[in-house]
Amino acid sequence: DGGITQSPKYLFRKEGQNVTLSCEQNLNHDAMYWYRQDPGQGLRLIYYSQIVNDFQKGDIAEGYSVSREKKESFPLTVTSAQKNPTAFYLCASSISDSGPDTQYFGPGTRLTVL
């Protein structure tokens, strides 16, 4: 059963802690993306990766870090430098590493800072 998964579904963080959100896909897609969504808003791009061992900053990369050591995995770390991390985080993938294609989304992780 192909798809893209994110875990956990809900995550609570104390101020000053780093947390890592998982994103895994078995669609054999080259490109992967992380978005942040605030209530009633659209998606804003945090980081994206077109190929293994390479990634680029999106529009709001400050306070976040990523890695792409495997094609199927693209974890996002929300660091303590991110001042307002409470949001809904969405991971997506697309088939190609070049050119604009349809993106397939995971179910999301809702992060709350306590």
Nearer to another protein, 82 or 103 (CB): 103
Nearer to another protein, 45 or 80 (CB): 45
Q: What is the dihedral of CA 70, 50, 79, 60, to 10 degrees?
A: -170
Smallest separation, CB 44 to another protein (Å) = 8
Smallest separation, CB 63 to another protein (Å) = 18
Footprint of another protein on this chain (CB under 8 A)?
6, 31, 33, 35, 40-45, 48, 50, 56, 58-59, 88, 90, 92, 94, 96-108, 110
Give strand pairing partners of 64: 78
What are the start-end ranges of the E strands in the chain?
4-7, 10-13, 19-25, 31-37, 43-51, 54-57, 64-66, 76-78, 87-94, 104-105, 109-113
Nearer to another protein, 8 or 18 (CB): 8
